[in-house]
Amino acid sequence: MKRVSIKDVAREAGVSATTVSYVLNRTPSETISSETTQRVLEAARKLNYVPNLNARSLSSRKSNLIGVLIPQTEPGKELMFSNPFYGELLSSIEYHARQNGYHLLLSGTQEDQDYVNIARNRGVDGIIIVGTYPGRNLEALKAIDAPIVLVDSYVKDTSFHTIGIEDREGARIATEYLIRMGHRDIAFISGSLREHGVNSKRYQGYCDALQAAGIPLDEQAIYSGTVDYEYGIEAAYEYMRRGQKQTAAFVTADVISMGLIKGALEQNLRIPEDVSIVSFDDVYLAQMSYPSLTTIHQNIPEKGAMAVQLILDAVQSGRKEHTECILPLRLIERDSVKRRGGDA
């Protein structure tokens, strides 16, 4: 879709481009009649004109800006920087963008916020969206003439480049490890379980492992809240209220696991002696927690580097072919799991 310019608005309103600029920028030194002002504003509304806040170079038509959108999928939660996963991912994106002469524009959007207006307002050369879901916002983005990379999103649409991991497989590996360590009563602790979401895929992997081992699914072993440290603490207290049945837990994010350890210690529960934990992500704090976390490692910096490279390749080549990148996973054994019925 062609971007509406000041000249287009001027033509529609029957005035000069300079007059349109004066009206839209509310230039105080210029006196424009109310009739002309109204005509210009109506023309701008009719054509859905959105000003380019970055004033792209006329010669290259590039802003050297990459937009990063992180939809707020859990209302009221400050997800971006309270979860170290986002800090590591954004650090990598920023570093690789900067090394190639680009800068970032970061937006933590409400889930129902219009992605298209954000992208148009800033005139970005490419867009990276982290953890979004299918919906009208993504459909509308197809009109943007810029490459779009979806990170950790189960959106099946070849209009977008995608980077992710096999979340279901990673969860299966984590749960099978706990089973091999002698655990049969295994809790699942997660953020919200939503269709097409990362947590739902990890729940499926947890169920796969239980089924393969002949362990029945216990609904009382499922804990679902928000992806943050505070929910981990809350989950530990809920575990006590439910009767301390499970001897182990698969937790879908390290940040939740760290809160779970804190909540357990507040109630004199020992990790891993009383409850073993296998987590997911392997953020840098996972090895610093006490005990250090046994966790599924994903290469978070590589996700950021690949997202930037996909944008750069598309901008430089002009090609729009869909690219799908799946990064490998592996289990990192540390100190948060104890063998059931024997020495660790």
> What percent of the chain shows pLDDT beyond 90?
57
In this prediction the pTM is 0.79
Per-residue confidence (pLDDT) for residue 342, from 0 to 100: 52
Going by pLDDT thresholds of 50, 70 and 90, the confidence category of residue 344 is very low
**Inter-residue contact 285 to 293 (CB < 8 Å):** no
d(CA 34, CA 290): 68
The answer on pLDDT for 173 being more than 90 is yes
The answer on pLDDT for 92 being more than 90 is yes
Backbone angles phi, psi at 124, to 5 degrees: -75, 155
Per-residue confidence (pLDDT) for residue 30, from 0 to 100: 63
Q: Sort strands 324-327 and 276-281 into parallel, antiparallel or unpaired.
A: unpaired
Per-residue confidence (pLDDT) for residue 52, from 0 to 100: 59
Give the helix/strand (H/E) hosting 281: strand 276-281
The answer on pLDDT for 253 being more than 70 is yes
Q: Sort strands 126-130 and 148-151 into parallel, antiparallel or unpaired.
A: parallel
Going by pLDDT thresholds of 50, 70 and 90, the confidence category of residue 252 is very high
Per-residue confidence (pLDDT) for residue 108, from 0 to 100: 73
Domains in the chain with CATH codes: 6-46 (no CATH), 65-166+300-329 (3.40.50.2300), 167-298 (3.40.50.2300)
The answer on pLDDT for 119 being more than 90 is no
The answer on pLDDT for 335 being more than 90 is yes
More confident residue, 135 or 60: 135
Spatial CA neighbour of 128 closest among 283, 310, 317, 315: 310
The answer on pLDDT for 131 being more than 90 is no
Is the torsion defined by CA of 133, 298, 331, 328 positive or negative? positive
Strands (E), 161-216: 161-165, 186-191
Side by side, the strands of the sheet bearing 161-165 are 103-107, 65-69, 126-130, 148-151, 161-165, 324-327
Q: How confident is the prediction for the chain on average, in pLDDT?
A: 87
Q: Where do the H-state alpha helices sit in 213-253?
A: 229-241
Quote the tokens at residue 59: 């010669």
Per-residue confidence (pLDDT) for residue 64, from 0 to 100: 86
Strands (E), 70-155: 103-107, 126-130, 148-151
Going by pLDDT thresholds of 50, 70 and 90, the confidence category of residue 58 is very low
CA dihedral 185, 287, 154, 217 (to 10 degrees): 0
Going by pLDDT thresholds of 50, 70 and 90, the confidence category of residue 57 is very low
Quote the tokens at residue 75: 């209302």
Lowest mean pLDDT: which of 73-77, 183-187, 217-221, 287-291?
A: 73-77
d(CA 161, CA 322): 5
The answer on pLDDT for 139 being more than 80 is no
**Residues ≥6 apart with Cβ < 8 Å to 218:** 185, 245
**Distance from chain centroid for Cα 62:** 26
> What percent of the chain shows pLDDT beyond 70?
86
